[in-house]
Chains A and B, each alone.
Chain A
Amino acid sequence: MIPCEGGFQTRPYTVGIEAMHCAMNSKVNQIACDLIIIGTGMAGMAAALFAARKGLDAALVGITGELGFASGPLDLLGVHPVAQGRILEDPWQGIVDLCRDEPLHPFAKLEIDAIRKALAAYLDFLQAGGYPHAVHGRRNMTLITAAGTRKPTYAVPHTMQHGPVALAAQAPCLLVDIQGLKGFSARQMALSLEAYWPDLRPVQIAFPDAAKGELYAEHLARALDAAPVREKLVAAIRPHLGDAQCVGLPAMLGFYQTVRVMEDLQQGLGVPVFEIPTMLPSVTGVRLRELFEQRLPPLGIRPFWQQRVLDVQRLNDGRWSLGVGYAEVEHRVIARGAILCSGRFFGRGLHARRNGIQETVFDLPVVQPMDRATWHHKDLFDPHGHPINRAGIAVDEQFRPVDAQCNPIYPNLFAAGSILAYQDWMRQKCGSGLAIATAYGAVTSCGAFLT
């Protein structure tokens, strides 16, 4: 049996194994590859990166919109145990404790060293892509959010780097918000955080040359890629600077040119500047998405952006045959192996009906609570987290989805990211770390299978 906790069960499943001829359509473009990665969120993008680094011939298919919901901070493990809400300073020790306390957690399928290597490779890629991230001595840092709360995280884009430093130092700080940018109030943050950072001073300014009315962070970020706009922004902020030793702004400081934007603003103002995560979707996520979209194909990844897997068959020789397209099948991808990184309900990797949860691509068995009455607690903020968030795909040590007897269902199908069971990335604050580390694990196993 699948090891079950708290009344979880595995539902019956069916995967069609169909003859090849029924799906072959001569008008459809056919492609053969080593590996297909399904899903273009954090896990799918990371898997593609690792596959390329291994020299695998990989295709990547998915709707990339969801990555725009990445908020900027890169969590590894921020809270354990969840029920106690204990915030971790040392995520690496936290992972050791987590794997001891929750041996089914996906992190427990990896050596610590593999998690370190995965993160390092991912951060190197971002650095090379001109969007470096900062880590503070292998410990978690604390950053402030638009809701006037504090969040533990492991790494942040360089644009957010100074925030946690300034909070730790309790440096006098000017918080700037922008007229017309909704959901981001410097006054809200300054007042809400007073107990933790007394020297916050809020100010609202008009964005240079902006029309009256609603503004969007992505437009402002793209505007700031131009040097003259940066100069004007500096000029608008400078009169309010006073004794501030740093300046916090909404996440909007450049799009492709974040390094230049940060240099110019800090030089112009004479103090460090940092971004604060905004409501979702956010500029930080869109930056990541575009970086992957631009940098993965040159590494040899064959992308099918804004397409999805519409049908799946397993050929007699064990290879996967996938119909790929937006509304109808445009390509047929024949792959020796597949990695499923299709996400949860928001990403559409899982789908819930009133009577249960299904996996949407392969109809894999989904580990889930016994019935809908126990999917969620009655309190949104219940300290235990909602049981449905720990539902998902159970995998073996090689990240292969398993059946009710814990046996891998297919030797050449792997899963990674938030679709995996036995984790609650939102409460454990481990979303990016989980995506990157399990993608690394799945690609490693898949690579071993292929060779």
Chain B
Amino acid sequence: MQTQVLIIGAGVTGAGLARDLALRGIQSIVVEKRDVNNGASGGNHGLLHSGARYVVSDPASAFECHLENQLLKRMAPHCVEATGGLFVAVAGDDEAYIAGFADACRRCQIDTASVDLNDAREMEPALSDRLIAAFGVDDATVDPFKLCLDNIADARQHGGQFLRYSQVIGFDIENGRIQRTHVRDDLTGRTRWIEAQVVVNAAGAWAGQIAGLAGAELAMRYSKGTLLVTQSRMGQRVINRLRRATDGDILVPGGTVSILGTTSERVDSPDVIYPEIHEVDAIIDQGAAMVPALADTRYIRAYCGVRPLIGGSGPKQAGDDRAVSRGFALIDHGRQPEAIANFVTITGGKLTTYRLMAEKTADLVCRQLGVTAPGRTHLVPLPNTVDARWTEPGLAPNTWLRTHSPEDLLVCECEMVPQSVVEEIVGSIKKQAGRPGLKAIGLRSRIGKGPCQGTFCSQRLAAHLYDRQHLANHQGVGELQAFLRERWRGQQPLLWDTSLAQAELLEAMHCGLFCLELEERDRP
């Protein structure tokens, strides 16, 4: 295959870059070793920062966040819920930090307004009665899956290509240029090579590994953050703890749920990460100081992401990784010791600034290509596409209730996702030459994300996919295992009370009756 620009990684940055280039008339191919938002783009709060969180620790990032926040609300309103946000402090919090907060915001041109404590509790009744300060800010929420899928869909609309489950395994480098990139299709095991004029490493936490394949050294640190999903929405706004960033201090609403996080734990590798029990306990205990109901609410799921931080693997005790700049790193490897003229790495940064990162990267790529077309993503709104619409909580049930015919059965009863929606998602996956497995459909919809966590919808979905001939031979057994394993990762640290009873039912059916744990040994 040939293209102008090869983009490695389909997180929001890679997807945003593909779209940015497409709007400048440049062809690209995105290769992704798993599926969209596999890394930090999928493992975050879905928070569109006002910037206020960084005003003390990282004012430059704070100002960038502020600008991008305002821009994205205009350019991708369908991905954003302009919830507004509060910064609150409770008795015992650092009063010096509180006292300096408003000034620090002002210096970054971030609007804040002090809120009367009674008003704050009226606005957000779940807040603690031990509040000592509250400020209103411009936080919002963003659906990172919708954002990524819409960017990819728009890039494809303009001729871009997207290859899932395609892992870069090596580069042919001659005369200081990457001539060919070798890519393995992890579903078929076949390899192919892609010739591109410029190769962009947008692999996020895996950027160091990709750079290594090209002989470039990129010192990275991996900071894991764990987040919890509550069963119901705990507040209307984003609620931040007004203190220096630490565990469990942001509660972000997302549709019908809320997301509480996060932690910062150094990990050695971005590949095998789990939300851990001690993180869950720390997040809940800290969060409950701000919103007491968090101590007793039911949690549906835990997940985690790895923040890719540039700057080497210093000693782990050398302070909190949150103190490392959340700015991004754009590296022209032609100017590095390895001197590879057509190789660029973009990593670090935040969901909020993904567009800016993509734009700066595209500017550099254009200089290398000799293209002068300016970026237009700050001018052209992101189209709302069908590919991404079913990630939105509440949309599937609304559509189903409005239009449903008796034959359109619900596959997922918790989140009310009917067969017709599954078929639409299968159609869009097949258009991208992908295989419509259970996990891929789960990623593009709310299936498996309700209280049953896949107990029932997994087998219903498998049966439906067989009936419609989307699955063949004994694929279903492996699909069920993979889907349930993925759900389990997020359930396992949260299993007490009702969730534990639910998990027992899940195991009774899928192990006790279906014996899926025994299949493992039988089938390679």
A and B associate in one complex: yes
Once A188-B462, A191-B476 are accepted as A-B contacts, the answer to whether A426 and B512 lie under 8 Å apart by CB is: yes
Q: Which residues of A from 57 to 106 have beta carbons under 8 Å from B?
A: 69, 71, 73, 79, 85, 87
Contact B496 A383 (CB under 8 A): no
Question: Is A183 in contact with chain B by the CB < 8 A criterion?
Answer: yes
**A351 vs B520: C-alpha distance in the bound complex, in angstroms?**
31
- Do A344 and B409 contact each other (CB < 8 Å), given the known contacts A145-B513, A182-B460, A188-B463? no
Q: Choose among A146, A185, A375, A381 the residue that contacts B485 (Cβ–Cβ < 8 A).
A: A381
Interface check A150, CB cutoff 8 A: yes
Min distance, Cβ B436 to any Cβ of chain A, angstroms:
15
Mask, A382-412, CB within 8 Å of B = 1, is 0100101100000000000000000000000
B contact residues around A431 at 8 Å (CB)? 512
CB pair B511 A381 closer than 8 Å: yes
A contact residues around B410 at 8 Å (CB): 214
- CB-CB under 8 A from A193, the residues of chain B are 474
Nearest B residue to A182 via CB reads B460
Q: Is B185 engaged at the interface, CB distance under 8 Å to the other chain?
A: no
For the complex, give the distance between the alpha carbons of A381 and B485 in Å.
8
Q: Does B472 contact A (CB under 8 A)?
A: yes
- Asked whether, in the complex, the Cβ of A380 is within 8 Å of the Cβ of B488, the reply is yes
Give the CA-CA distance A85 to B518 in the complex, in Å.
6
Known contacts A212-B406, A373-B277; A151 and B460 CB within 8 A of each other = no
Q: CB-defined interface of B305-320 with A at 8 Å, one 1/0 digit per residue?
A: 0000000000000000
> A345 near B: Cβ within 8 Å?
yes
Which of A182, A212, A386, A429 has the largest count of B CB atoms less than 10 A from its CB? A182
Given A213-B407, A348-B501, answer yes or no on A146-B520 (Cβ-Cβ < 8 Å): no
A73 CB contacts on chain B under 8 angstroms: 513
How distant is the Cα of A378 from the Cα of B463 in the complex, in angstroms? 27
Bound CA span A299–B516, Å: 40
Looking at B281, B511, B516, which has the most chain A CB atoms within 10 Å of its CB?
B511
Q: Is the CB of A425 within 8 A of B512?
A: yes
B467 at the A interface (CB under 8 A): yes
* Residue A148 lies at the interface, judged by CB distance under 8 Å to chain B: yes
Closest A residue by C-beta to B278: A373
At the interface, yes or no: B386 with Cβ under 8 Å from chain A?
A: no
Contact check, B505 vs A280: say whether CB atoms are below 8 A apart: yes
Q: Tell yes or no: B232 within 8 A of A by CB.
A: no
- In the assembled complex, which residues on chain B have CB atoms less than 8 Å from the CB atom of A192? 473-474, 476-477
Restricting to B413-464, which residues have a CB under 8 Å from any CB of A? 456, 459-460, 462-464
Contact A346 B508 (CB under 8 A): yes
B466 close to A (CB within 8 Å):
yes
Is B116 an interface position by the 8 A CB rule? no
Q: A147-B516, A194-B474 are in contact. Are A279 and B459 (CB under 8 A)?
A: yes
* Cβ–Cβ contact B495 & A147, under 8 A: no
Give, as a whole number of angstroms, the nearest-CB distance from B405 to chain A: 8
B496 / chain A contacts, CB cutoff of 8 Å: 352-354, 372
- Looking at the complex, which one of A79, A277, A381, A388 makes contact with B513 (CB distance below 8 Å)? A277
**Is A169 engaged at the interface, CB distance under 8 Å to the other chain?**
no
Chain A 237-252, CB-CB to B under 8 Å as 1, else 0, gives: 0000000000000000
* Choice from A85, A182, A185, A277 contacting B409 with Cβ under 8 Å: A182
Q: Which residues of the partner chain A approach B484 to less than 8 Å between Cβ atoms? A: 380-381
Q: B34 contacts the other chain (Cβ, under 8 Å)? A: no
Is the pair A71, B513 in contact by a Cβ cutoff of 8 Å?
yes
Q: Are B518 and A344 in contact (CB under 8 A)?
A: no
> Are the C-beta atoms of A381 and B467 separated by less than 8 Å?
no
* Interface: A447 (CB within 8 A): no
CB-defined contacts of A198 to chain B, threshold 8 Å: none
| Residue with the greatest number of chain B CB neighbours at <10 A, chosen from A145, A148, A214, A379 | A148
- The answer to whether the Cβ of A128 comes within 8 Å of any Cβ in the partner chain is no
B246 CB within 8 Å of chain A: no
Task: Report, as a range, how many residues of chain B touch the other chain.
Answer: 35 or more
Count chain A CB atoms within 10 A of each CB in B472, B495, B502, B521 and give the residue with the most: B495
**B514 to A379, Cβ gap below 8 A?**
no
| Residue in chain B with minimal CB distance to A376 | B492
- In the complex, the chain B residue whose C-beta lies closest to that of A215 is B409
Taking a contact as CB atoms under 8 Å apart, the answer to whether B497 and A352 are in contact is: yes
Docked Cα-Cα span, A381 to B278, in Å, equals: 22
Distance in angstroms between the alpha carbons of A379 and B474 in the assembled complex = 22
B218 at the A/B interface (Cβ < 8 Å)? no
Chain A residues near B511 (CB-CB < 8 A): 381, 426-427
Answer yes or no: B267 CB below 8 A from chain A CBs: no
Nearest chain B CB to A429's CB is how many angstroms away? 7
- Near B by CB (< 8 A), chain A positions 146-198 give 146-152, 180, 182-185, 187-188, 191-195
**A378-B466 in contact given A151-B513, A383-B517 (Cβ < 8 Å):** no
Q: Which of A351, A375, A381, A386 is B516 in contact with, Cβ under 8 Å?
A: A381
Contacts of B456 in A (CB 8 A): 183, 279
Determine whether the beta carbon of B508 is less than 8 Å from that of A280.
yes
- Whether A352 contacts B477 by the Cβ 8 Å rule is no
CB of A320 to closest CB in B, whole Å:
26
> Does A147 contact B278, Cβ atoms closer than 8 Å?
no
In the assembled complex, A211 has its CB within 8 A of some CB on chain B: yes
Measured CB to CB, the nearest residue on chain B to A353 is B496
- Distance in Å: Cβ of B475 to nearest Cβ of chain A: 8
Complex alpha-carbon distance, A377 and B511, angstroms: 14
Q: How far is the CA of A375 from the CA of B277 in the complex (A)?
A: 10
Contact A426 B459 (CB under 8 A): no
What are the residues of chain A within 8 A of B481 when measuring CB–CB?
Answer: 381
Q: Interface readout for A31-51 with B: 1 if CB under 8 Å, 0 if not?
A: 000000000000000000000
A69 to B455 alpha-carbon distance, docked (Å):
13
Provide the B490-512 mask, 1 if CB < 8 A to any CB of A, else 0: 00100111001111110111111
Closest chain B residue to A180, Cβ basis: B409
Take A183-B460, A184-B463 as given contacts and tell me if A380 and B409 are in contact as well, using a CB distance cutoff of 8 Å.
no
* B513–A280 touching, CB < 8 Å: yes
Is B324 interfacial (CB 8 A cutoff)?
no
Residue contact B495 to A148, C-beta cutoff 8 Å: no
Closest-by-CB residue of A relative to B461 is A183
Contacts of B467 in A (CB 8 A): 185, 187-188, 204
| Closest Cβ–Cβ distance, residue B400 to chain A (whole Å) | 12
Residues of A contacting B503 with CB < 8 Å?
376
- Tell me the complex Cα distance, A10–B485, Å: 31
B141 to chain A, nearest CB (A): 28
Q: CA A57 – CA B485 in complex, angstroms?
A: 48
With beta carbons under 8 angstroms apart, the residue of A150, A375, A426 that contacts B508 is A426
Q: What separation, in Å, do the CA atoms of A146 and B502 have in the docked complex? A: 20
Query: Bound complex: CA of A431 vs CA of B515, how far in Å?
Result: 13
- In the bound assembly, the distance between CA atoms of A373 and B411 in angstroms comes to 33
- B472 A79 Cβ-Cβ under 8 A: no
Q: Within the complex, what minimum Cβ distance (angstroms) separates A256 from chain B?
A: 24
Q: How close is A382's CB to chain B, nearest CB, in angstroms? A: 8
Bound CA–CA A389/B274 (angstroms):
21
Residues of chain A within 8 A (CB-CB) of B477 are 147-149, 192
Which residue of A has the minimal Cβ distance to B281?
A354
Q: In the complex, what's the smallest C-beta–C-beta distance from A386 to chain B, in angstroms?
A: 8
With contacts A185-B463, A383-B517 taken as known, whether A345 is within 8 angstroms of B509 at the C-beta atoms is no
The CA-CA distance from A381 to B518 in the complex, in Å, is 9
State in angstroms the CA–CA spacing of A162 and B314 once bound together: 66
Given contacts A346-B505, A346-B508, A353-B497, contact A149 B521 (CB under 8 A): no
Whole-angstrom distance from the CB of B278 to the nearest CB of chain A?
7
Is A378 touching B274 in the complex (CB atoms < 8 A)?
yes
Per the bound structure, the CA–CA distance linking A195 and B500 in Å amounts to 35
Residue with the highest number of chain A CB atoms closer than 10 Å, among B473, B492, B500, B510? B500
15 extra interface residue pairs, beta carbon distance < 8 Å, beyond A85-B518, A195-B474: A146-B514, A147-B476, A149-B477, A149-B515, A185-B462, A191-B473, A192-B474, A194-B473, A204-B467, A213-B406, A279-B460, A346-B504, A352-B495, A389-B507, A427-B517
- A-B residue pairs in contact (CB < 8 Å), sample of 11: A69-B505, A85-B520, A85-B521, A146-B459, A183-B460, A191-B472, A344-B504, A345-B501, A352-B497, A353-B496, A378-B489
Which 9 pairs of residues, A with B, have the shortest CB-CB distance? Answer: A213-B406, A185-B463, A188-B466, A380-B488, A426-B512, A147-B514, A352-B496, A381-B517, A345-B501
